[in-house]
Amino acid sequence: MTTSTTETMRWQGDANSGHLVLIDQTQLPVQLVEKDCRDLETVWEAIKMLRVRGAPAIGIAAAYGVVIGMQTVASDDKSEFDSRLAEVTDHLATSRPTAVNLFWALDRIRKHAASFDDGMDRNAKMAALLAEASVIHEEDREVCHAIGRYGAELLADGQGVLTHCNAGGLATAEYGTALSVFFTAQDVGKNLHIFVDETRPLLQGARLTAWELGQRGIQATLICDSMAAQVMKEGRVSAVITGADRVAANGDSANKIGTYSIAVLARAHEIPFYIAAPVSTFDLSLADGVNIPIEQRSAEEITHGFGRQTAPDNVDVYNPAFDVTPAELIAGIITERGVISPVTTENVAKMVGQSA
């Protein structure tokens, strides 16, 4: 058993010629394979194809992706640099639509670049971009640990907890969001039994969460998504904790498809349902979850899951990657600043630190 977590990505080298190294999560749990991202398209493809996934990790990868994309600028010409920066950030923004951390990180990089002195040369600008991406990376590490500390206080030793999808170290800089709660509980001596939804159709729970919990020696039981109600009915679960990819101003939360169903089941069985998410995942420009963009993914993920055909040719397929859990079903949102409970527009605004 280990009490460390696997880091999903790292930067290697300097700003001018360095590159991003990330775990190719599509190869887990059978193989632990690292992928070198040395050009912009490789970073874009890694985000789009879920080689790197999880809202915070997507944001970090995108920040480093900007540095990689800017390496093609050879001169000190300001207009050339600014034009390329706009091109790179706009392109990365097209990779996935739902995870707000992607746009948050790109906007942060843009604002940082806008503060550059007109006299800065190209090398200084590149070093500054890499430094900002590294800060985003390190800040997420700290945020994950803070979420874990607040969340672990909500759980008791010996408790059974259900989670959906993967919100662990693979989805963030290190400890994760939802899984950070479990890792931190372990750190302080609490033994939990985690029930892991397999998370169809891409099985992030089975492939990634079960793997991460196993690496930590935390007791975990894998179940099909459709088994959650039965497990709750049998009294095996007394709390549910998941992550989120975008949280609206009223607390409505978008997460991997199937999360909404789990929240409804938790309410029916009088089990508290929690979201674990950093402040950067909140989108206060949206009053509620109605207008959260929901990514539609390819039909082949369902008809030919993992390369094997399991549906008839030409069948119609609907494949939304996310659903939105209404705030009224959420007992609390665990952030790095504390737990928002009850989940209301007013309480979200107080915790996030902006007016709603």
Q: Please check whether residue 248 is in contact with residue 100, taking contact to mean a CB–CB distance below 8 angstroms.
A: no
Q: What per-residue confidence (pLDDT) applies to 99? A: 78
Question: Which range among 53-57, 112-116, 153-157, 267-271 shows the weakest confidence by mean pLDDT?
Answer: 53-57
**First vs last C-alpha separation in the chain:** 45
Q: Using the Cα atoms of residue 50, residue 55, residue 61 and residue 65 in order, give the sign of their dihedral.
A: positive
CATH fold of the domain at 153-352: Rossmann fold (3.40.50)
How far is 50 from 27, CA to CA, in rounded Å? 10
Share of the chain above pLDDT 70, in %: 97
At 354, is the pLDDT very low, low, confident or very high (cuts 50, 70, 90)? low
Instruction: Please name the residues in contact with 3: beta carbons below 8 A apart, sequence gap of 6 or more.
Output: 183, 186, 187, 216
Span 241-284, pLDDT tens digits: 999 999 999 999 999 999 999 999 999 999 999 999 999 999 99
Two domains, one topology: 9-144 and 153-352: no
CATH code linked to domain 9-144: 1.20.120.420
| Domain boundaries of the chain, sorted by first residue | 9-144, 153-352
* Mean pLDDT, the chain, whole residue set: 95
Residues forming a β-bridge with 296: 320
Strand 193-197, strand 219-223: pairing? parallel
Of 275, 271, 251, whose CA–CA distance to 343 is shortest?
Answer: 251
The 8-class DSSP code of residue 205 comes to I
How much of the chain exceeds pLDDT 90, in percent?
A: 92
Q: What is the pLDDT of residues 216-225, one digit of tens each?
A: 999 999 999 9
DSSP letter string, 8-49: SEEEES-TTT-EEEEE-GGGTTT---EEEE-SHHHHHHHHHT
pTM metric for this prediction: 0.89
Supply the residues annotated as catalytic.
Answer: 245
Tokens encoding 239: 């709390």
CA-based nearest residue to 147, from 347, 335, 273, 340: 335
Q: Check whether 1 has a pLDDT greater than 70.
A: no
